[in-house]
Amino acid sequence: MGARPFGTDINTSESEGPVVQGNLGDIFRMLQKRLFAPLPYWHWIKQAEDHRLDENNRIVSESVQEFIRLARDRMNNSPALFDQPSNLLEAMIAARDENESIFLDSELAGNIVTLLLAGENTTAHSLAWFIYLAHQSPDVLLRIREEVDRIIGKDAVSTRHEQLGELDFIEACINESMRLRPSAPLVGVEANHDTVVADVAIPKGTMILLLTRVGALKEMHFANPCAFRPDRWMTSVSESIHRKACMPFGAGPRLCPGRFLAIEEMKMVITILVKNFDISALDTPDGKSVQKRLTFTMAPVGLQLKLRRR
């Protein structure tokens, strides 16, 4: 992941040392385990993996503090960045420092950690599921390539942001792959007051886990719901497609603020992939079908991709 939103390029693909992604992966796994633990045993007894989690949290925290320090140094050296920040972190720092904001440094760091957690595995897993599902439908893959060739032209990559907005079929494929294989199929909410939903009484303060994928796979919302049919997103909303039943980015006031960025990132990767490469093989080490594994996000297990130059 290139952390350009924070003004720092982590460059994990070429790094020879520890990278934040490894720590985030372990944190995701432990979040999932603790979320469903019957008892919070770690408050009294810590196992080896709990100590590893403490170490992972320490490394991520130190990395975040370094992001903030480097950003403040840049802004102090170039005060104009307070009025015209060049990235998300600088904008957050400017908001933090404006008029003695009550936005605390700890809250600034917490927001950065949230962005790291929410924007790392989710987009990567969504891309992996997209590639897997599109590869299962050769006609869909052909239409994707035709759209990229038509809009991108002879260039190897997209050269203008406007081009990404013209990739209507690719966006439909992204929506359809997220409907079938959402990277975040669980959404946690808490009742702010006593309420009743579907004749079920929910007291104030009750934590609820919503299984968002269930509604997206019902015939009442989508015709032939288990089929990968991107064209369903190319038409106006009708009785056969209730788009609000599909919530890959959540809903309401907690709707993912990075949803548009995530789709743009996916479009960029997809255009580079189909413009420059052919998929020569997509399989698993044991040759069996790709399995789903939920570790806070839903990931494809053992998915291997082989490419050859187009």
Residue 238: pLDDT above 60?
no
Residue 210: pLDDT above 80?
yes
DSSP 165-219: HT-HHHHHHHHHHHHHS-S--EEEEE-SS-EEETTEEE-TT-EEEEEHHHHHT-T
Q: What are phi and psi of 271, to 5 degrees?
A: -65, -40
Residues 135 and 100 in one domain: no
Q: List the domain range (segments joined by +) for residue 18.
A: 4-119
CATH number of the domain where residue 227 is located: 1.10.630.10
Q: How far is Cα 110 from Cα 64, in angstroms, rounded to an integer?
A: 9
Domain endpoint, select from 119, 152, 178? 119
Residues 258 and 218 in one domain: yes
Residues 166 and 241 in one domain: yes
Mean pLDDT of 185-211: 89
Find, among 6, 10, 8, the residue nearest to 89 by Cα: 6
How many domains is the chain built from? 2
Q: Going by C-beta distance under 8 Å and a sequence separation of 6 or more, which residues neighbour residue 1?
A: 10, 12, 20, 21, 119, 120
Q: How far is Cα 196 from Cα 173, in angstroms, rounded to an integer?
A: 36
Q: How far is Cα 46 from Cα 69, in angstroms, rounded to an integer?
A: 32
Domain endpoint, select from 54, 85, 119? 119
Mean pLDDT of 4-21: 55
Give pLDDT, residue 3.
42
Residues 283 and 295 in one domain: yes
Provide the β-strand partners of residue 196: 201
User: What does pLDDT average to over the chain?
Assistant: 84
Residues 105 and 133 in one domain: no
Residues 232 and 162 in one domain: yes
Domain endpoint, select from 119, 142, 164? 119
Residues 114 and 210 in one domain: no
Q: 78 and 123 in contact (C-beta within 8 Å)?
A: no
| Nearest-10 crossing angle of helices 88-97, 48-77 | 80
Q: What does the block give as tokens for 300?
A: 């494809």
Give pLDDT, residue 13.
47
Residue 296: pLDDT above 80?
no
Give pLDDT, residue 101.
67
Give pLDDT, residue 103.
72
Mean pLDDT of 278-284: 88
Q: How far is Cα 218 from Cα 222, in angstroms, rounded to an integer?
A: 6
Q: How far is Cα 130 from Cα 148, in angstroms, rounded to an integer?
A: 16
Residues 92 and 130 in one domain: no
- In the three-class reduction of DSSP (H, G, I as helix; E, B as strand; rest coil), residue 281 is classed as strand
Helix ranges (H only) for the chain are: 20-35, 48-77, 88-97, 105-119, 121-135, 138-152, 161-165, 168-180, 212-216, 259-276
Residues 195 and 279 in one domain: yes
Q: 134 and 177 in contact (C-beta within 8 Å)?
A: yes
Q: What are phi and psi of 308, to 5 degrees?
A: -135, 150
Residues 288 and 260 in one domain: yes
Give pLDDT, residue 2.
39
- In the three-class reduction of DSSP (H, G, I as helix; E, B as strand; rest coil), residue 299 is classed as strand
Residue 114: pLDDT above 60?
yes
Q: 128 and 284 in contact (C-beta within 8 Å)?
A: no
Q: Pairing state of beta strands 277-283 and 304-309?
A: antiparallel
Most confident of 153-157, 158-162, 169-173: 169-173
Provide the β-strand partners of residue 190: 207
Residue 160: pLDDT above 90?
no
Residue 15: pLDDT above 80?
no
Residues 41 and 146 in one domain: no
Q: How far is Cα 153 from Cα 157, in angstroms, rounded to an integer?
A: 9
Q: What does the block give as tokens for 110?
A: 């917490």
Q: Position of tokens 């390029």?
A: 9
Residues 88 and 224 in one domain: no
End-to-end CA distance of the chain: 25
